[in-house]
Structure 1
């Protein structure tokens, strides 16, 4: 008998995960911090991880925000580029100095205390910390619900169940602030904030990396204890026995009523027989 669609999909995904080829992400490989929890989830017959990010700091220059004389929100395309990206907590502090010292993509050097235009077309330089995110494809709603409930109980309040029983495990401990802008006449990257503010953001991000790692470990432990070591099938069976539908209740009440009538009739007949004997 051939494999069903889920098993075929899971095998294909696991082959990609175990491959030495680079994946389609900008980094090209799976973040090391994600590997333990991915391995744990993938050990379950009804689940497989499809995408992940352990958490990262990025500094991004928006692309052109004017299209057909209309200003658009964002600007990831049309010249947008990453100035700095790291998934490593140890590379957070002092990233700006290191980037300037490399003397590569960060030309010209940022200049402080500048003021951008106010028409909405200014290309901003965005400082972002994005926490752990994991997508897991599940076999059915039962397994998806079990994983979703565990994630929510661990504080991953941005989680949800999407189409095809894909569970997105997310948490809202992010940072997303503008720190500068692009001067279109000179192509200079101008800071909107003093360097001390960048240092403050770096300190906050460093702490968020630590908090993020603790939450991933907590989630790992809960999944291991409540799903991997506690089969979903057993939990579901117990729940089905405890949940009573309206129809089940109607039938039970009817049976109980008939049983009471039978007992009452037996008691009545017994009293009559006793009276005849006396």
Structure 2
């Protein structure tokens, strides 16, 4: 089957499914971005979260809190108030954890070159843990991620282990992270729009040159292919290990990643 036809089939199937997320709809702060991507022929989104502050109450038998096996005491995609956290913690019977989770977005792309445009925009906007994966069937996925997170335990076996003053301190940090997260989303959207506009102009110029001078265009295409290959090689180099380092990869994974 032609790649573009199969991509169109995947896109129709994905966008035609019901939203099975806990919220059941796209978050307000990323609706415009998601709609923009889905309106383009070369992209469609498979999942997204604008960023959130939450309190999870997990098992008191261990330190790990797994979302699928715990109680969600509080979830908000907006700045959080101390009174809301205190009220949520009163319901805790296990190990409650305060978390801030930054914006995350998964986009399936028609071609690797399309994913690289999104990847560059994401990195330039502060989402330095973003990466590209390519499946055996040719599914090219771009994940927009960052390390701009926070996770702090607050209670053990239902007993609050910190003071209200410390909770206020944590919320101040979490709310600032939420504000920065929103700015990064806006930067990403703007960078992406400008990048796609430049691509459209470049493609138009290439088309004109191809019509007027076919040999030149074939040489230009070969140069573009070499540039893409060089980009992939560089992205596979081991990143430096520091808190703000980029984690960029182009990996081949079996289907079902």
Q: Same fold (TM over 0.5)?
A: yes
Report how far residue 227 of structure 1 moved: 1.5
The one-character-per-residue Cα deviations of 1:53-97 (angstroms, maximum 9, x if unpaired) are 0001111111264xxxxx7x62427962111111122x4443224
Map of 1:96 onto structure 2: 85
Q: SS of the counterpart of 1:12?
A: helix
1:18-29 map, 5 Å = 23-29=19-25
The answer to whether the Cα contact below 8 Å between 2:56 and 2:67 also exists between their aligned partners in 1 is: no
Q: CA separation in 1, counterparts of 2:38 and 2:96?
A: 38
**Conserved in 1, the CA contact under 8 Å of 2:102 and 2:148?**
yes
Aligned to 1:8: 9
**Displacement, 1:5?**
1.3
2: CA distance, partners of 1:232 / 1:50: 28
Instruction: Using the TM superposition, give the Cα deviation of residue 128 of structure 1 relative to its aligned residue in structure 2, in angstroms.
Output: 0.3
| Separation in structure 1 between the aligned mates of residue 68 and residue 189 of structure 2, nearest angstrom | 40
Q: Give the equivalent residue in structure 1 for 2:131.
A: 160
Superposed, 1:1-278 pairs within 5 Å as 4-16=5-17, 23-63=19-59, 65=61, 74-76=64-66, 80-89=70-79, 91-99=80-88, 106=91, 124-163=95-134, 164-182=139-157, 189-228=158-197, 230-231=199-200, 234=203, 240=221, 242=223
Cα shift at 1:10: 1.1
TM-score (norm 1): 0.66
Give 1:262's aligned residue. none
Distance 1:138 1:74, change over 3 A: same
Q: Structure 1's 229 and 36: CA in aligned 2 closer, same or farther, altered over 3 A? A: farther
For residues 178 and 68 of structure 2, what CA distance do their matches in structure 1 show? 31
Task: Verify the 8 A CA contact 1:93 1:206 in the aligned structure 2.
Answer: no
Structure 1 residue ranges without an equivalent (≥5): 66-70, 109-122, 183-188, 246-278
**Alpha-carbon offset, residue 14 of structure 1:** 2.7
TM-score normalised by L of structure 2: 0.71
- Counterpart-to-counterpart distance in 2, 1:11 and 1:52: 18
Query: Partners in 2 of 1:152 and 1:135 — Cα distance?
Result: 14
